[in-house]
């Protein structure tokens, strides 16, 4: 197991493994996305309170989940960078940042579009919305800090520290609707008691969440492979490739 993990941490080995997985991930993403959208936009019934406008959750909720998940993954990579200085962890961290920022931006935009008919306004300084906006700034900060430092090994350690410090915002986002009086809707997916989401809505929501996760891995593999080529462009294995 340790040998497999050590080989996976090698940029040349990871480059080849990712290349083999990309075609399969393309098909997995397409199938999950079509099934999730069809189930959410066509098969799922209208909500008894929100009507058809609730259907934006099939994009908004998975995007919000991914915005949290990707930042946690970056923080884990940050810890690996500081402790073991693994080169591949540096590549995964900085390659994840633009993807996470995109999901966060998508969550904010779709949330605002939902908020207009529900709250009468596109934006309020609600605890959940504000902490999610801070998360977007953290993603942009990681990208900006990495680009501002020429030595990429030094830049990797700097963004690793920022990722670890910023991870404190994740539980704030998650529990903000419980800790403060929030306009944002509380959890319904993870609850087993009433009120909770019906299975006819839950199933396409989970399919969309899986589609977004597969997309993250797919986009991450593409970005990591490009970053590996850039960093290892003078290596012998690149010349042989």
Confidence at residue 233, expressed as pLDDT on a 0 to 100 scale:
86
- Give a yes or no: residue 137 inside a domain: yes
- Give a yes or no: residue 134 inside a domain: yes
- Give a yes or no: residue 139 inside a domain: yes
Distant-in-sequence, close-in-space partners of 2: CB < 8 Å, separation ≥ 6: none
Q: pLDDT tens, 105-141?
A: 999 999 999 988 888 888 888 888 999 999 999 999 9
Mean pLDDT of 64-69: 97
Confidence at residue 132, expressed as pLDDT on a 0 to 100 scale:
96
Residues in the chain: 241
Range of the domain at 152: 11-240
pTM of the entire structure? 0.92
- Give a yes or no: residue 121 inside a domain: yes
Count how many domains the chain has: 1
Confidence of residue 226 (pLDDT cuts 50, 70, 90): very high
- Give a yes or no: residue 142 inside a domain: yes
Q: How far apart are CA 103 and CA 97, in angstroms?
A: 10
- Give a yes or no: residue 177 inside a domain: yes
Distant-in-sequence, close-in-space partners of 130: CB < 8 Å, separation ≥ 6: none
- Give a yes or no: residue 1 inside a domain: no
- Give a yes or no: residue 2 inside a domain: no
Among 7-11, 130-134, 142-146, 222-226, name the one with the lowest average pLDDT: 7-11
Distant-in-sequence, close-in-space partners of 221: CB < 8 Å, separation ≥ 6: 18, 19, 21, 22, 25
């Amino acid at each position: 197991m340790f040998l497999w993990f050590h080989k996976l941490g090698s940029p040349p080995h990871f480059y080849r493994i990712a290349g083999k997985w990309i075609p399969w991930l393309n098909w997995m993403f397409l199938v999950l996305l079509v099934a999730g959208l069809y189930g959410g936009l066509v098969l799922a019934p209208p909500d008894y309170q929100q009507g058809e406008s609730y259907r934006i959750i099939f994009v908004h909720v998975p995007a919000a989940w991914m915005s949290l998940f990707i930042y946690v993954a970056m923080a884990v990579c940050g810890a690996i960078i500081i402790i073991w200085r693994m080169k591949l962890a540096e590549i995964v961290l900085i390659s994840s940042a633009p993807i996470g920022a995109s999901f966060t931006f998508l969550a904010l935009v779709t949330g605002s579009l939902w908020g207009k008919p529900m709250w009468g306004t596109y934006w309020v300084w609600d605890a959940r919305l504000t902490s999610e906006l801070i998360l977007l700034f953290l993603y942009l900060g990681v990208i900006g800090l990495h680009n501002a430092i020429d030595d990429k090994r030094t830049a990797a350690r700097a963004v690793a520290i920022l990722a670890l410090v910023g991870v404190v915002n994740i539980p704030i986002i998650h529990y903000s609707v419980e800790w403060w009086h929030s306009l944002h809707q509380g959890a319904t997916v993870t609850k087993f008691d009433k009120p909770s989401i019906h299975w006819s809505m839950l199933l396409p929501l989970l399919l969309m969440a899986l589609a977004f996760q597969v997309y993250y891995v797919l986009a991450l593999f593409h970005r990591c492979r490009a970053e590996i080529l850039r960093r290892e462009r003078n290596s012998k294995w690149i010349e042989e490739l």
